[in-house]
Chains A and B, each alone.
Chain A
Amino acid sequence: QVQLQQSGPGLVKPSQTLSLTCSISGDSVSSNNAIWNWLRQSPSRGLEWLGRTYHRSRWYDDCAVSVKGRIIIKPDTSKNQVSLQLSSVTPEDTAVYYCVRGGAGTTAGLFDSWGQGTLVTVSS
């Protein structure tokens, strides 16, 4: 059974970088059958997909247009983790952030395992 354990600060100052880590157990970040996503949830934006990384003979990543240019999602194969960095944050980035596993092929967007969520507040 897959477990995703998130860690990282819950308070970030405006213009700084939000950084979160997701530790994976029960699966491999390098799996050819999984995709590692970050989503967030806020009252104003609902559930929002932010981006993903996955391995299919090489590493791939892509992201939502809304955060393009500010987001980095990286695997750490030595620790079996995936990380999220979101730069130049504003109060509009205040949300609960989730690390989420997706499948392969047509189930890439099917989210079957979720981290516990991290409330990140952007405030000075």
Chain B
Amino acid sequence: EIVVTQSPGTLSLSPGERATLSCRASQAFGGGYLAWYQQKPGQAPRLLIYGTSSRATGIPDRFSGGGSGTDFTLTINRLEPEDFAVYYCQHYDDSPPWTFGQGTKVEI
């Protein structure tokens, strides 16, 4: 089972700034099967990025994902007020169990 660890726990930024979130896997994996989810208060998580760098349907292009091996990043360019939320990374594949990182909160 691959465990992912996120950093930092909290990121304090202003609208218009760039956010860079990190996700580190306990071991390298192939296929780039790394996803990012966004969760706003009182809402379910929403899929943002899959396959390390592919945006899910309807996700604006200010969100981008990258990385390889064990180190992955989510970058949010020009933060909008609606981007302040908690972000989770997850390694996925065809075999459970699946686990999530502990989350990074992006706050104003």
A interface residues (Cβ-Cβ under 8 A, vs B): 46-49, 52, 62, 64-65, 98, 105-112, 114-117
**Partner among B47, B97, B99 whose Cβ is within 8 Å of the Cβ of A110:** B47
Q: Shortest 4 CB-CB distances between A and B: which pairs?
A: A109-B92, A114-B44, A109-B98, A47-B100
Is the interface on chain B under 10, 10 to 19, 20 to 34, or 35 or more residues? Answer: 20 to 34
Q: Contact at A47–B44, with CB atoms within 8 Å?
A: no
Within B55-108, the residues touching A (CB, 8 Å) are 56, 88, 90, 92-100, 102-103
**Partner among B44, B56, B92 whose Cβ is within 8 Å of the Cβ of A115:** B44
B interface residues (Cβ-Cβ under 8 A, vs A): 31, 33, 35, 37, 43-47, 50, 56, 88, 90, 92-100, 102-103
What are 20 sample pairs from A and B whose C-beta atoms fall under 8 A apart?
A: A46-B102, A46-B103, A47-B45, A47-B88, A49-B98, A64-B96, A64-B97, A98-B44, A98-B45, A105-B94, A106-B31, A106-B92, A106-B93, A107-B92, A107-B94, A108-B94, A108-B96, A109-B92, A109-B95, A111-B92
Which residues of chain A have C-beta atoms less than 8 A from B31's C-beta? 106
In the bound assembly, the distance between CA atoms of A112 and B59 in angstroms comes to 12
Q: Contact at B56–A112, with CB atoms within 8 Å?
A: yes
Which residues of chain B have C-beta atoms less than 8 A from A48's C-beta? 99
Which residues of chain B have C-beta atoms less than 8 A from A46's C-beta? 100, 102-103
